[in-house]
Chains A and B, each alone.
Chain A
Amino acid sequence: EDKVVQSPLSLVVHEGDTVTLNCSYEVTNFRSLLWYKQEKKAPTFLFMLTSSGIEKKSGRLSSILDKKELFSILNITATQTGDSAVYLCAVAYSGGGADGLTFGKGTHLIIQP
């Protein structure tokens, strides 16, 4: 059965700290790994990773994929209160011509001022 496991499930840090969120997966017909940020409603897209070892970066956020060890990390440096959210990791797989997403439970990140 396909599985995506995120850790930690919740994390409380102070503004300015650096955080690392983890995602491991076991999925057949892997295509890509995606990170989304979910505040109140719609998950918003952060990164899509398809190749091992290539870091994707956007401002204070960065992410990398290890396809041999089947995991990814999401780093956030110099955290701000606006980074408080649930961070979802999802793996896209191919099946019957369609692309489903299998999600982890998410990491609930709280940034304290």
Chain B
Amino acid sequence: DAGVTQSPTHLIKTRGQQVTLRCSPKSGHDTVSWYQQALGQGPQFIFQYYEEEERQRGNFPDRFSGHQFPNYSSELNVNALLLGDSALYLCASSSQRQVTLRNQPQHFGDGTRLSIL
């Protein structure tokens, strides 16, 4: 049973560039949440996707956008990269549709380490 998978594992970009990060949820999960974790900090909620729509958003600028596909996988896009965007980007999945899984915790992937030069 595959858990949450993210790609790539590491990425180096320069200021002003754009980046796309990818996430496949755990089998049976239909909801994907994205978090940004700066060094020495806890993860910060970016947004959550369910049924291919953004359901909730944290305090992030609209340079951060996302997408969810019919197979529940998701992408996080960041435009006009800033030095402060350097962080570990974590994807977490959960289930809304399956009643038996609905109150279960979010499961996290290993993250993408994004470095901005």
Q: Do A and B come from one complex?
A: yes
* Docked-complex contact A105 and B42, CB < 8 angstroms: yes
The closest CB in chain B to the CB of A100 belongs to B45
User: Could you tell me the distance between the alpha carbons of A110 and B58 in the complex, rounded to whole angstroms?
Assistant: 31
Which range holds the interface residue count of chain A? 20 to 34
Task: Report which of A95, A98, A103 forms a contact with B42, defined as CB distance below 8 A.
Answer: A103
Of the residues B40, B56, B92, B108, contact of A95 by C-beta under 8 Å: B56
Residues of A within 8 A of B (CB): 4, 6, 32, 34, 36, 41-45, 48, 88, 90, 95-106
- Alpha-carbon separation in the docked complex, A49 to B85 (Å): 32
Interface size on B, residues (CB 8 A): 27
B94-116 Cβ-contact flags toward A at 8 Å (1 or 0): 10000000011111111100000
Take A95-B56, A98-B50 as given contacts and tell me if A103 and B40 are in contact as well, using a CB distance cutoff of 8 Å: no
